[in-house]
Amino acid sequence: MSETLLFSPLSIRGVELKNRIVVPPMHQYSAIKGFPTDWHLMNAGKFAAGGAGLVVVESTKVERRGCGTVGDLGIWDDKFIEPLGRLVKFIKQQNAAVGIQLGHSGRKARATRPWEGDRPLQRTPEIDDWEEWTPVAPSAIAHSEKWPVPRALERQEVKDLVQAWGEAARRADAAGFDVLELHGAHGYLVHEFLSEKSNQRSDEYGGSELNRMRFITEVTEAVRMHWPAHKPLFVRLSVEDNAGWGPEQSARLATILKPKGVDVIDCSSGGITDVAPILGKEIKYSYQVPLSEYVKRHADIMTMAVGLIIHGDQAEQILRDGQADLIAVGREILNNPNWPMDAALKLGVEGPFRNVPPQFGYWLGTRDKRGFGTQPSTFQNGLRDPGKVS
């Protein structure tokens, strides 16, 4: 298979992606007081060098209260523009487009890192703004029994947060990002407004489905005021959350957001409760892809598929079946940062190393010409001598 959709370019507004492979935002929990470190440069850089068309920097918080852990990235002040710009510059040097996800943890803020127990954080002397870092939410309803009850946002605070998202978009543009994604999934603040389980407000931001959509709608409008018209805007949704919000609601929301400037819906699931929608179901390859297909077909909008997408031919089939326009490869690209190159080889793409920097591509190309590419190994039966290849 030399002609593929996976490795065909895609133009969204004024940005052209060299292929349809996206490294989705994945928390690293490694920032220092909101600032990126060399870890972030290495982490994002290796994915860009591996050949992905778009690398999206992890959920970056629009205000201090929105940090989930002490290691979350921040963009609530202009002082973050320059260090984030360093990431942008390096990723672009590898011929990849670069995106950033804007988020707010809401009632799931002030927590330990996942490998530290994923539970409410205990106060320590090192956290000098503990009182200011108070979890907030649409309503004073805890995520679960183990989580504290958040403080319900005042109406003016909601308005202020809308503007905070807009200002964060301005900073993301100033830092040089090509693509912006709004995090509206996984039980964080935007998702909390959408869900009737977590949103029991009696003002214009609660009650009816349309009212519960108001926050993300106003955030989108504020972001588009600061985010250039030639740059794409994505929104990540938990298309199914096992708590009253499902594909039908997500498709209706997408039809509202599209004319306001949203180009792609990133289709995930879960997070509003500790019970994931996938529990009790068979976990298999592409298990969340039907969510992407539903939104794409019912909202007439581009979508990005996620969820146990492991193999190149699997990703190619998703695109050929019209279930998505972009493929997000998350945990598998953690396992193999050169996944795009590997997929190109296995799909028989002409010039499989053209998507990677010459520091990789030149030397791998010379090996491939000698027949030491992805063919089945014959080393054990002595038909080849790897010692002849430098």
188 labelled catalytic: yes
Q: Per this entry, what is the length of the chain? A: 390
| pLDDT, position 377 | 37
Whether residue 270 lies inside any domain: the answer is: yes
- Two tokens, residue 40: 């972030």
**CATH at residue 169:** 3.20.20.70
| Domains: count for the chain | 1
| pLDDT, position 280 | 56
∠ CA 160-161-163, nearest 5°, is 70
Whether residue 370 lies inside any domain: the answer is: no
Catalytic position from the list 188, 285, 287, 294: 188
Angle between helices 81-93 and 38-49 (to 10 degrees): 30
| pLDDT, position 123 | 93
The rounded distance, in Å, linking the Cα atoms of 254 and 236 is: 11
Whether residue 372 lies inside any domain: the answer is: no
| pLDDT, position 353 | 85
| pLDDT, position 237 | 98
| pLDDT, position 381 | 42
Place of tokens 């060399």: 38
Q: Do 186 and 242 form a contact (C-beta atoms < 8 A)?
A: no
Whether residue 155 lies inside any domain: the answer is: yes
Whether residue 381 lies inside any domain: the answer is: no
Whether residue 180 lies inside any domain: the answer is: yes
Domain of 141?
10-356
Kindly report the three-state secondary structure assignment for every residue of the chain.
CCCCCCCCCEEECCEEECCCEEECCCCCCCCECCECCHHHHHHHHHHHHCCCCEEEEEEEECCHHHCCCCCCEECCCHHHHHHHHHHHHHHHHCCCEEEEEEECCHHHCCECCHHHCCCECCCCCCCCCCCCCCCEECCCCCCCCCCCCCEECCHHHHHHHHHHHHHHHHHHHHHCCCEEEEEECCCCHHHHHHCCCCCCCCCCCCCCHHHHCHHHHHHHHHHHHHCCCCCCEEEEEEEECCCCCCHHHHHHHHHHHHHHCCCEEEEEECCCCCCCCCCCCCCCCCCCHHHHHHHHHHHCCEEEECCCCCCHHHHHHHHHCCCCCEEECCHHHHHCCCHHHHHHHHCCCCCCCCCCCHHHHHHHHHHHHCCCCCCCCCCCCCCCCHHHCC
Whether residue 54 lies inside any domain: the answer is: yes
Whether residue 19 lies inside any domain: the answer is: yes
pTM exceeding the 0.75 threshold for the entire prediction: yes
| pLDDT, position 55 | 98
* pLDDT tens, N- to C-terminus, the chain (390 residues): 568 999 999 999 999 999 999 999 999 999 999 999 999 999 999 999 999 999 999 999 999 999 999 999 999 999 999 999 999 999 999 999 999 999 999 999 999 999 999 899 999 998 999 999 999 999 999 999 999 999 999 999 999 999 999 999 999 999 999 999 999 999 999 999 999 999 999 999 999 999 999 999 999 999 999 999 999 999 999 999 988 999 999 999 999 999 999 999 999 999 998 876 665 566 789 999 999 999 999 999 999 999 999 999 999 999 999 999 999 999 999 999 999 999 999 999 988 888 788 888 888 888 776 565 555 434 344 444 434 433
- Two tokens, residue 347: 């799909």
